[in-house]
A and B are shown apart, each in its own frame.
Chain A
Amino acid sequence: MWFFTSPRTIVFGEGALEYLKELEGKKVFIVTDKNLRKLGIVDKVVEQLKETGMEIRIFDEVEPEPSKQTIERGAKILSEFGADWIIGLGGGSCMDAAKAMWVLYERPDLTIEDITPFEKLNLRKKARLINIPTTSGTGADVTWAVVITDTERKVKLELASKEVVADISILDPALVLDLPPRLTADTGMDALVHAIEAYTVQWKNDFSDALALRAVQLIFKYLPRAFKNGRNDPEAREKMHNAATMSGLAFSNSQIGIVHAMGHSLGAVFKIPHGRSVAVFLPYVMEYNLSEAASLYAEIAEAIGITDGSDEEEARKLIEAIRNLMKEIEEPLSIKEMDIPREEFEAKLDELIEKANESTGTIVNPRVPTEEDYRKLFLYAYEGKSVDF
């Protein structure tokens, strides 16, 4: 037995934001960040909400990799305000923050650490959640994961509950038209990793497979265009926006693997943006997984038109295609290229391994790594050396 969980409604395409005009309620609480406010994106949302006549309160203090303290502060303001709609507006940090604040608002008796699949949260007694992504990558608008940073332990809390999946996700391509190229590349690679891991982990299933494969096709076709052409290519922007959410649905209903386990670890220890810290591991982990997952990688390869060869040959060509895509969108191909000195990296190696080992991605990966495997993988990815073990 397994299940597929998604928002009740996904509104997408040009003008999707207008859906907000149809909301009924008294108070709406927007969880976002200062940058989006400065860019005028919050105003675009507020403009639509004004037509509902609801009272609007904006919490714009979400930082990248939001901390427990920020969540608790936001939840307190939310509780005093008493909203019946919560909107997570932004990248993964804002949407995850909205999910966590929502839980603490509905259940003041719980702590952030109680957001686990085994705790009955009984949400939706006070409010419902809408997510509006402003990047095309995290998939956080549709997932049941909540990533919050415990700044004291220097660790990302990988929290999850089916109940925090938003009621509505709104994918309006106008919100990502002006995404800077660097962010387009990082978040787009995050979406690609989601799709590839969703398709190859041990918990993969027919539903997640379908979404993952289509997402990979869209990303290979449209990510380079979105990166190069920016707002001059609205089709590429819209397709990437859809692909990111499809990847989110795919991995949320299967799992992520060790690309994410290692990426989360690197991101937490060296403060590297999520998409970039994850993307750098993808080719190395795929090489490591070849002994267990060549046929699955070959299926992905075939979906993007690589059809000549054995499973392993096609899988290797897919890895090469990913490296070429990363070069095209100027993603670092090794950790060394991220300007992390080797001595500093080696000094933190045990910590990196320990954090990666704690991730659930470790046990559902097609090949389950030992600590020694992790050590080598980190070192190979640092040097940019192809995996041969």
Chain B
Amino acid sequence: MPKFPSEEWVKEFCKLLNENKEYEEATKNWEGDFLFIVTPDEGLDKEYVFYVDLWHGKCREARMLKSREEKKTEFIYEGPYSNWKKLIKGEIDPIKGLLTRKFKLKGSMMKVMRATKAAKELVATASKVPTEFI
């Protein structure tokens, strides 16, 4: 079972996204890559950074980076490890998470607000990754 956060986890996430028809439908017009940043708390020793490239209903690339400076992306979605755990378990709604400042988002808010269904499917897919937390 992949550990979160890890390279193995993000690869599995990308694979499941590419198998998910609902995700494909919700994001068929989406173009934009993300940095998903997990900041340390609850026993996580350091910051972890994932690069995920989402393109017209598919995950084109997903990997772990050494630091947030390694790649410039259109969006950055960032939050503490404890909130990522809740998000992956489906205990936090991704948009409500932003409204209540549990997560921060950098990038075009207008573009994201028009793609809330995509955000929901993205998180629903993350919840399907069999995940072991540290």
Binds B, one of A168-176, A275-283, A356-364, A378-386: A356-364
Please count how many residues in chain A sit with their CB below 8 Å of the partner chain's CB atoms.
22
A118 at the interface (CB under 8 A from B): yes
B11-19, B54-62, B63-71, B111-119: which lies at the A interface? B111-119
Chain A interface mostly helix, strand, loop or mixed? loop
Which of these binds chain A: B2-10, B34-42, B93-101, B126-134?
A: B93-101
Answer yes or no: A113 CB below 8 A from chain B CBs.
yes
Please give me the residue from chain B that is nearest to A158 by CB atom. B113
How far in angstroms is the closest Cβ of chain B from A158?
7
CA–CA, A358 to B29, complex, Å?
11
Residue B95 contacts which of A119, A158, A363 (CB distance < 8 angstroms)? Answer: A363
CB < 8 Å: which of A2, A119, A368 contacts B100? Answer: A2
A119 touches B109 (CB 8 A): yes
Residues of B within 8 A of A3 (CB): 100
Q: How far apart sit A370 and B20, CA to CA, in the bound complex (Å)?
A: 14
Least Cβ–Cβ distance between B28 and chain A, in angstroms: 9
Q: What residues on A are CB-neighbors of B26 within 8 Å?
A: 357
| B89 CB within 8 Å of chain A | no
A52 CB–B CB distance under 8 Å: no
By a CB distance below 8 angstroms, the chain B residues around A371 are: 25
A371–B96 Cα distance when bound, in Å, is 23
Note all chain A residues with C-beta closer than 8 A to B120: 363, 368
In the complex formed, the residue of A with least CB distance to B28 is: A371
Greatest chain B CB density within 10 A among A114, A157, A363, A371 is at A363
- Tell me whether B47 is interfacial, beta carbon within 8 Å: no
In the assembled complex, the Cα of A203 lies from the Cα of B99 at a distance in Å of 12
> Are A116 and B116 also in contact (CB < 8 A) when A1-B100, A2-B100, A370-B25 are?
no
B98: which of A114, A118, A359 is its contact (CB, 8 Å)? A118
Interchain CB contact under 8 A, B113 and A116: yes
User: Contacting B96 at CB < 8 Å: which of A113, A116, A203, A362?
Assistant: A203
Interface positions, chain A 338-389, Cβ under 8 Å from B, are: 357-360, 362-363, 368, 370-371
Nearest CB on B from A255, distance (A): 10
Q: Out of B98, B102, B110, B117, name the residue touching A357 (CB < 8 Å).
A: B117
Inside 8 A of A358's CB, which chain B residues have their CB? 114-115
Contact B113 A360 (CB under 8 A): yes
Q: Is the CB of A116 within 8 A of B114?
A: no
B116 and A363 form a contact (CB under 8 A): yes
Report the bound CA distance from A206 to B114 in whole Å: 28
CA separation between A274 and B132, bound complex, in Å?
Answer: 48
> What is the total of A-B residue contacts with beta carbons within 8 Å?
44
| B22 proximal to A (CB < 8 A) | yes
**Chain A residues, Cβ within 8 Å of B44:** none
In the complex, whether A117 has a CB less than 8 A from a CB of chain B is yes
Q: Which of A1-43 contact B (CB under 8 A)?
A: 1-3
Q: Residue of A at shortest CB range from B102? A: A1
Q: Is the CB of B116 within 8 A of A362?
A: yes
Question: A363 — which chain B residues lie within 8 A by C-beta?
Answer: 95, 116-117, 119-120
Interface residues of A in 306-328 (CB under 8 A from B): none
With contact pairs A113-B110, A370-B25 given, residues A362 and B117 touching in the complex (Cβ less than 8 Å): yes
B110's nearest neighbour on chain A, judged by CB, is A113
A203 to B96, CA, bound (A): 9
The answer to whether B116 touches A118, judged by C-beta atoms less than 8 angstroms apart, is no
List residues of chain B with CB within 8 A of the CB of A118. 98, 104-105, 109
What's the minimum C-beta distance from B99 to chain A, rounded to whole angstroms?
Answer: 5
Chain B residue at minimal CB-CB distance from A118: B109
B96: nearest residue on chain A (CB-CB)?
Answer: A203
Determine the distance from Cα of A157 to Cα of B109 in the docked complex, in whole angstroms.
Answer: 12
What separation, in Å, do the CA atoms of A117 and B98 have in the docked complex? 8
Contacts of B25 in A (CB 8 A): 370-371
Closest Cβ–Cβ distance, residue A205 to chain B (whole Å) = 11
* In contact, A370 and B95 (Cβ under 8 angstroms): no
- Max count, chain A CB within 10 A of own CB: residue among B104, B105, B109, B113: B113
Given A2-B96, A2-B100, A370-B22; A116-B117 close (CB under 8 Å): no
A359 to B113: give the CA distance in the assembly, Å.
8
Taking the nearest CB of chain B, how far is it from the CB of A56, in angstroms? Answer: 35
- Closest A-B pairs by Cβ, 9 of them: A116-B109, A358-B114, A363-B120, A113-B110, A360-B116, A363-B116, A1-B100, A118-B109, A117-B99
Binding site for A on B (CB under 8 A): 22, 25-26, 93, 95-96, 98-100, 102, 104-105, 109-110, 113-117, 119-120
Residue contacts A-B, CB under 8 angstroms, 27 given: A2-B96, A3-B100, A113-B109, A113-B110, A114-B109, A116-B109, A116-B110, A117-B98, A117-B109, A118-B104, A157-B110, A158-B113, A357-B26, A357-B117, A358-B114, A358-B115, A359-B116, A360-B113, A360-B116, A362-B117, A363-B95, A363-B116, A363-B119, A368-B117, A368-B120, A370-B22, A370-B25
